Amino acid sequence: MKGLKICTLALTLATLLCSCALVDWIDGFMERFQKDEKPAVSSSEPEPVDPNWPVEMGDVTIEKKPKRVVSLNPSITELVFDMELDSALKGVDDYCAYPEQAKELPRCGTEAMPEVETIADEDAQLVLVLNELPAAQYEALLQADAEVIVLEKPQEIDKLPEYYEQLATIFLGKEDGPKRAKEFAEPLLAAYDEITEAVREADAPRPLGCFMALLPLTMATGDSLQGQLLEACGIENAAAENSDWQYPEDQLLAFNPEVLVFDTRTATLDEVKNHYNYKTTPCVVNERLLAVDGSAIENGGKRLFETVLEMARFANAKLDLPERQRGAAADSRKD
């Protein structure tokens, strides 16, 4: 009987132990199951959203700040350096001559004939132009993962800030870009307004003149930025009523400019003085000739406003710029 009690007790203890083990196993399983079912929680903070990106430029979406950009237009290149955006610039067009730093970058062809292989070698993300590229090269660049953006450059001074904003937004994004463009444009336009105001207040005779792009008849007409600048600087544009940079040949014999501004890229001072159409005109006889780099105006950067100041003083030697205006003009020449 005693042996039977012992066996019964042992059996009871074994059953209890098994039950406890089973409960522990089930609890452990459930704990693991519940742990597996819980959503994973990241220990790291979520990345902040950059309000600058993405940026839409026409049919191109720029997802993040570009690091490798090629410019195929001298105007774009000059402004990239003017606005201090050049850290991402990795190539320029073949004819780029300003600023000096740009000459050190790889030459990547032109808008008419881009060097696709060179641009691909530079691993360009974006190619910036002012004119449409040939279809074959455009498609080749897309195949090389380089997006092409065509910018719009206005022919009016007061619309240049829109051009600056387009460009700065590409490099800095939709919030920082407009801010940089505004900081760049405001002092330049203020200088321009004050210079032209001084011209108006001077109330001096307006000499008849022209902006000569190419001897003898290719000159700034009324529909050009250069033609508008002549008028703003106090010069009566002889070609104001004409268009497309062409002065009528049948009016050339009666053309007697008192002052002449010419582009140093296409003519020298001696060539202007000795040209049969101009050597007896008042501008040559009285030595009222001004040589300017035409690209300074065409490119639309800081040098444009320096040239405006130079043209205004050329047109009116006694032009008086008050101290405030002199300061604004000086600001426009800062590099």
User: Low-confidence residues of the chain, pLDDT below 50?
Assistant: 1-23, 25-27, 29-30, 32-38, 324-330, 332-335
Euclidean distance between CA atoms 199 and 156, whole angstroms: 19
pLDDT tens sequence across 286-321:
999 999 999 999 999 999 999 999 999 999 988 876
The sign of the CA dihedral 99, 100, 105, 106 is: positive
Following DSSP, what letter does each residue of 93-162 receive, concatenated? -TT--SSGGGGGSPB-B-SSSB-HHHHHHTT-SEEEESSPPPHHHHHHHHHTT-EEEE----SSGGGHHH
Helical H segments across 45-103, by residue range: 74-82
- Strand 218-219 to strand 208-214: parallel, antiparallel, or no bridges (unpaired)? antiparallel
pLDDT for the residue numbered 42: 54
Q: How many CB atoms lie within 10 A of CB 99?
A: 17
Three-point CA angle 71, 292, 256, nearest 5°? 130
> Which residues are CB-contacts of 23 (< 8 A; sequence separation ≥ 6)?
none
Report yes or no: 107 and 91 within 8 Å, Cβ to Cβ: yes
Is 215 strand, coil or helix?
coil
Note the pLDDT tens digit of each residue in 52-111: 999 999 999 999 999 999 999 999 999 999 999 999 999 999 999 999 999 999 999 999
